[in-house]
Chains A and B, each alone.
Chain A
Amino acid sequence: MIETRGLTRRFGERTVVDDVSFDVPAGMLTGFVGGNGAGKTTTMRMIMGLLGLSAGEVLWQGRPIAAADRRRFGYMPEERGLYPKQRILDQLVYLGELSGLPAARARASATESLERFGLADRSGDRVEKLSLGNQQRVQIIAALLNQPQALILDEPFSGLDPTAVDSMVDLLREETGRGVPVLFSSHQLDLVERLCDRLVVLRAGEVVAQGGVEELRARGPERLRVVTDRDAGWIRDIAGVHVLDVDGAEALVELADQDERAADAVRRAILTAGLDRGEVRELATVRTPLSEIYREVTA
């Protein structure tokens, strides 16, 4: 598990990352979201030891992280690119050797991964000859060469087509299956929602929400969708209901009180009132989309 404790980074007068604490548990995909300039890249760079810390600490397996631990992390920087003019296999072997693999092992591992991604026949090509998606594949191969014990990926999905996204997802799932903690940043909230076990939301350098996706959803008021056979305007008269939208026979409401008992009472009141006026075709709890949670916490 990776833990950050009170991570802070100042550039001169500006505090870019302010007292950031979160966990990246083993075997889980943790999504790191936040707007541009929220401090995601800076935080990741601090975890990787590329930037010094103004305050706070990074823990690996419960103790302060050391350079030797980081050497076995897989890292993919933002706006990635390898040496454009070097041949793909040579480059991967070089990076493998830098992380401490003997040359023969690095070569075997790189060749195997290239085969897996269907890039074996391109191994003698220069990186610049590859399409963007394939460059990204080589990049992730580079991050995985050394069987990393953790993965820190800055925007690994940007610029990938849907097929490439799927194969990247499979790959990351495989890594978490090995028990590897994975932290990745992304702007694509739908993807994060589909993919993540956990979520850390950053705004202006501060963590505004973190936890399991379901956990975060549960934090907000419960939403109900009510569908009747006639105009649903009557729902405005029911106490304890905050109406978000009424559209003909359909209504979207929020329960004002989060207390479970009170919520039950309101649900019953809606049902009774609806049945008094005709038929109630649907009364369902609505899953709040992540994008809305995100908007709420970063608002």
Chain B
Amino acid sequence: MNDQTETRAAERPWLLVARREVVTRLTDKSFLIGTLITLVLVVGFIGWTIWSEDRTERVTVAATAADAATAQLLEREVPEVDDGLEVELVEVASDAAGVAALEDEDADVLLRATDDGWTLVGRKEVPGDLTAAAESIIGDAALTANAERAGTSPAELRQGGAVDTVLLEGDAERQDFAQGMGFLLAFLFYFAALGFGYTLSGSVVEEKANRIVEIITTKIPVRQLLIGKIAGNTLLALGQTALIVAVGLVGISFTEYSSFLSGISAGIGWFAVFFLVGFLFVACWWAVAGALASRAEDLQTTAAPLTFVMMGVFFGAFLFEGTVQTVASYVPPFSIVLMPIRVLNGDAAVGEPVAAIAILLAAMAATVVLAERIYRRALLQTQGRVTLKQAWAAAD
């Protein structure tokens, strides 16, 4: 009965633990449904963006016969100024009839001449796009007429008054896009860190509460168990987030923002690196939070500080600016999202993310050692909650 296969220890037992974590989640219906819903939301949001981009809004403009010439001008010129807008003309007998048409919803806007120009009358609102287009078209027409009367041309009148903007790096729209992406990625990290973090600490408590951890740790070292659980959950978090980001990026490539994608690829790449190391870093603490609890109900208390830190990291991504942002982008766990955001925005020099990731790696290594000690000592305390201090001071 003492043949070799039986006395040999399991090779790389953390892999067995990690595999169980992954398989358990992937066969869990609620996890699959949750992932599917998230993907549907992402696809739906992008689809809606594309649809609303292509959509042409039709505005019915009422005008009396006297004002018809200007109305016709709008009908002709508006689609050229704004390709998402079309004007349909409705002739009304009088201004009063026009107001009646507005009230009956036969028209969206009434165009009226005033002493020194024109008025657009709406029921509750005048579409903002129409106002801008009308201002530009009617203003140009008036300028041309006035210039001719004065014996000059609009070009001469405008001479020397042109203001152009030139950005040395990128353009404004691109910058907005990068910023939006940054917040989105910060949110994804928050979402994954909280969701998978809770799962991880929940599974640690489950093992503790069922005492199965006692069986497992007579077979494999506690460190292997800890590493396996962290590796499994990190893989899941990374996989789910990568799926969401990939679907999102493919979606974006069908929108007008597709041209910006090449500009943010470096940022996305760094985000992936920071996400991986950052998740490993926080996962250690989630495992500790689980080990400090004895029952699932204790988890809310033992995980509360972590939840606050995660929220801090998330809001830090929005609120930190200037020097604070620069400094925080080196400090774990803030650096996990702030440094990739700075790379996305083009604010970080090449060496900066490298330095920040080195600091994060060092912090992670220290955390693994600390977390293992606390985890090991708290794991067998099955009566009530254990404080960090108790777990730290306890003998093995």
Contact = CB atoms under 8 A, between A and B. Distances in A.
A50 interface: yes
Interface stretch (B2-10, B73-81, B95-103): B2-10
A240 interface: no
B7 A82 contact: no
Interface in A138-187: 142-143, 146-147, 149, 178
A52 B396 contact: yes
Interface stretch (A30-38, A99-107, A114-122, A256-264): A99-107
Interface stretch (A90-98, A196-204, A207-215): A90-98
Contacts of A99: 10, 219
A245 interface: no
B217 interface: yes
Contact of A77 (B5, B16, B214, B221): B214
A142 B215 contact: yes
Contacts of A82: 210, 212
A79 interface: yes
A94 B232 CA distance: 15
A76 to B, nearest CB: 8
A72 B217 contact: no
B332 to A, nearest CB: 32
A45 B214 contact: yes
A71 B13 CA distance: 13
Interface in B200-221: 206-207, 209-212, 214-221
Nearest to B225: A98
A81 interface: yes
Interface in A50-79: 50-52, 54, 67-68, 70-73, 75-79
A9 to B, nearest CB: 9
Contacts of A100: 5-10, 219
A222 B8 CA distance: 52
Contacts of A79: 211
A149 B8 CA distance: 14
B7 A68 contact: yes
A54 B395 contact: yes
A154 to B, nearest CB: 9
B211 A81 contact: yes
Contacts of B207: 83
Interface residues of B, number: 29
Interface residues of A, number: 42
A232 interface: no
A77 B9 contact: no
Given A83-B210, A94-B20, A75 B215 contact: yes
A80 interface: yes
B175 to A, nearest CB: 48
Contacts of A101: 5-6
B319 to A, nearest CB: 40
A73 to B, nearest CB: 7
Q: Which of B206, B211, B217, B221 has the most CB of A within 10 A?
A: B211
A98 B6 contact: no
B42 to A, nearest CB: 29
A52 B379 CA distance: 13
Nearest to A180: B1
B6 A81 contact: no
A15 interface: no
Contacts of B17: 98
A49 interface: yes
A73 B218 contact: yes
Contacts of A67: 221
B218 A83 contact: no
A51 B396 contact: yes
A98 B10 contact: yes
B204 to A, nearest CB: 12
Given A98-B16, A146-B6, A75 B211 contact: no
B24 interface: yes
B247 interface: no
Contacts of B143: none
Contacts of B5: 100-102, 105
A233 interface: no
Given A67-B221, A95-B219, A98-B219, A50 B214 contact: yes
A173 B305 CA distance: 52
Q: Which of A11, A99, A146 has the most CB of B within 10 A?
A: A99
Contact of A68 (B1, B9, B20, B24): B9
Nearest to A53: B396
Contacts of B212: 81-83
Contacts of B217: 50
Interface string B1-42: 100011111100100110010001000000000000000000
Contacts of B214: 45, 48, 50, 75, 77
Nearest to A73: B218
A249 B13 CA distance: 70
Nearest to B15: A97
Nearest to B382: A79
Given A54-B395, A68-B7, A146-B6, A97 B380 contact: no
Contacts of A147: 1, 6
Contact of B7 (A52, A72, A75, A77): A72
Interface in A10-49: 10-11, 45, 48-49
A143 B20 CA distance: 19
B215 A95 contact: yes
Contact of A83 (B206, B219, B220, B380): B206
B16 A49 contact: no
Contact of B210 (A76, A84, A94, A105): A84
Contact of B219 (A11, A54, A71, A105): A71
19 contacts: A11-B395, A45-B214, A52-B396, A71-B218, A72-B6, A75-B214, A75-B215, A81-B209, A82-B212, A83-B206, A83-B207, A85-B24, A86-B24, A94-B16, A95-B215, A98-B16, A98-B219, A100-B7, A147-B1
State the 7 A-B residue pairs at the shortest beta-carbon distance, nearest first. Answer: A52-B396, A81-B210, A77-B214, A77-B211, A98-B219, A99-B219, A100-B10
Given A94-B20, A98-B216, A101-B5, 19 more contacts: A48-B218, A50-B218, A50-B380, A67-B221, A72-B6, A73-B218, A78-B211, A79-B211, A81-B209, A95-B219, A98-B17, A99-B219, A100-B7, A100-B10, A105-B5, A142-B215, A146-B6, A147-B6, A149-B1
